[in-house]
Structure 1
Amino acid sequence: MSNVRLSVVVAGVIVSLALSGCAAVVGPAHLSKAVPSSTPAIDRFAVPDLGAKPAPAAPLTDAEAETARLAEADRQWADLVALHPSAVRPTVDLIAYGTGTPLFAASVQCMKQAGYHAALSQEGNGWESSGPTVESGDIPEDQATAYAVASYVCSVQHSGRPEPPYTQDELRYVYRYLDEYLVPCWTHYGFTVRTSPPGLDAFLASHGAWFPQRSGSGSIGETEIDTACPARSPLREP
């Protein structure tokens, strides 16, 4: 029986940085928060002065949040059936909104109850599951659909509360963060940036659709670069 390689699963499946014109589910767990780096201070890349953080949009009402949550569940399912056309969509209710490590821990417990190996990521900002063959990270092909559905169920049952999309002022701040900090930070550590930034007007018109991509290897590893150069801007962080 052939096996298919599984990729890391992150709780909340975690959409864009609330950049689009639609409300986004909280919790880009694959993106590091803007926290102090463990990289030696002598080699730190300084964050430039980006100006004051703009005020966020008003929180979504409960009804708006529910509409956004259901839309995100629909998007997740569409992505799933594109890879697993035989999948049958289950009825899934939200158990509770959550944030941070408790949210991810709930997803881990959900996957374990479904019979799969799962654990919090080392940084505690997401979760990983490798399927039933934990030693190799492989899962038998005939179980891949069942595994994908279980992942979907857990991400919908345990979700971050949707946030409103970024305002124009917030998008301007994000653009400065990406263009003036993140891209130079990556190149500082020797990585190649594969995408050039659009002009600010184009970025605003696309509701922040651009995000830089890096490639190659640098002076520090992948885990370290995500800590040294947080990909998520500090907007809406406590």
Structure 2
Amino acid sequence: MLPAVALALLALAGCTFVGPVELKPESEPYTIKDGAVLAALGEVPEGEPMTPEREADFIARFQNYRWSIVTQSYPDAVRPTVTVADTTGAGVSACVSDGLQSSEQVALADYVCFAQNPPVPTSMLSSAQAGYLYDYWTGFVVPCYAEHGFEISADPPVRERFVAEWPFQNWAPTLANRGGEDAVAALAELEQFCPGVPDELS
């Protein structure tokens, strides 16, 4: 199952609205029901339990991800030492939003807050499942979006990098809110043709 933090991170990547979406008649859609992509992908790989080792790895990578946000604006910043206080993610509501990092001091405080309160998921895709999702996104979702008039704004990373960095891969063919309310409505309807996540992983 996709953890909440992964779903939130998916918003970092989006698609560009390039015109009206002309959905095909129901009798001839480009949809998951065609089965060709899923047949080629085979069965969804088995998941892995969220062991203490996987949890510790997630925390370390989450903190590295949050620190990368700081260094994008302040490359010479000195990384503070942080002790994890809570792993439920409940404390992140008190953190400053990314859009308000108006100074290095604020950015550092923001990092400390997030690093102390990593939202550790109760489950997370295994490496094999992340690879399956990559193949599904690049082999089905991206061309399905194109079929219905949408262009992905960023090319996907190489598969190995995507799997290694999941869920902090910073790329997904998400249905972003671009082009106003009409586009949002069209995207919601488009989801029936191009479901972003296979049922087996949702």
> TM-score, normalised on structure 2?
0.55
The structure with the greater share of residues assigned to helix is 2
List per-residue Cα deviations over 1:33-57 (Å, max 9, x = no partner): xxxxxx99x8896433336752433
Q: CA RMSD in A?
A: 4.8
- Contact 2:30-2:147 at 8 Å conserved across structures: yes
Unaligned stretches of 5+ residues in structure 2: 12-20
Instruction: Give the equivalent residue in structure 2 for 1:166.
Output: 127
Instruction: Give the equivalent residue in structure 2 for 1:21.
Output: none
Match of 1:109 among 94, 111, 117: 94
Aligned counterparts of 1:31 and 1:172: Cα–Cα separation in 2: 16
Q: Secondary structure at the match of 1:97?
A: coil
Paired AA for residue 80 in structure 2:
P
Aligned counterparts of 2:104 and 2:184: Cα–Cα separation in 1: 30
Instruction: Give the equivalent residue in structure 2 for 1:90.
Output: 80
Aligned counterparts of 2:65 and 2:183: Cα–Cα separation in 1: 32
Aligned counterparts of 2:105 and 2:143: Cα–Cα separation in 1: 42
> TM-score, normalised on structure 1?
0.49
Pair 225,82 (structure 1): closer, same or farther in 2 beyond 3 Å: same
Aligned counterparts of 1:225 and 1:60: Cα–Cα separation in 2: 33
Aligned counterparts of 2:156 and 2:78: Cα–Cα separation in 1: 40
Aligned counterparts of 1:192 and 1:147: Cα–Cα separation in 2: 36
Pair 173,69 (structure 1): closer, same or farther in 2 beyond 3 Å: closer
The CA deviation at 1:84 is 0.7
Matched length: 172
Q: Does 1:150 align with 2:109?
A: yes
Unaligned stretches of 5+ residues in structure 1: 1-16, 19-23, 33-38, 112-127, 132-138
Aligned counterparts of 2:184 and 2:146: Cα–Cα separation in 1: 13
Aligned counterparts of 1:93 and 1:230: Cα–Cα separation in 2: 39
RCO (CA 8 Å, sep 6+): is it higher in 1 or 2?
Answer: 2
- Contact 1:191-1:218 at 8 Å conserved across structures: no
The CA deviation at 1:166 is 1.9
1:42-53 matches, within 5 Å, as 46-48=31-33, 49=35, 50=38
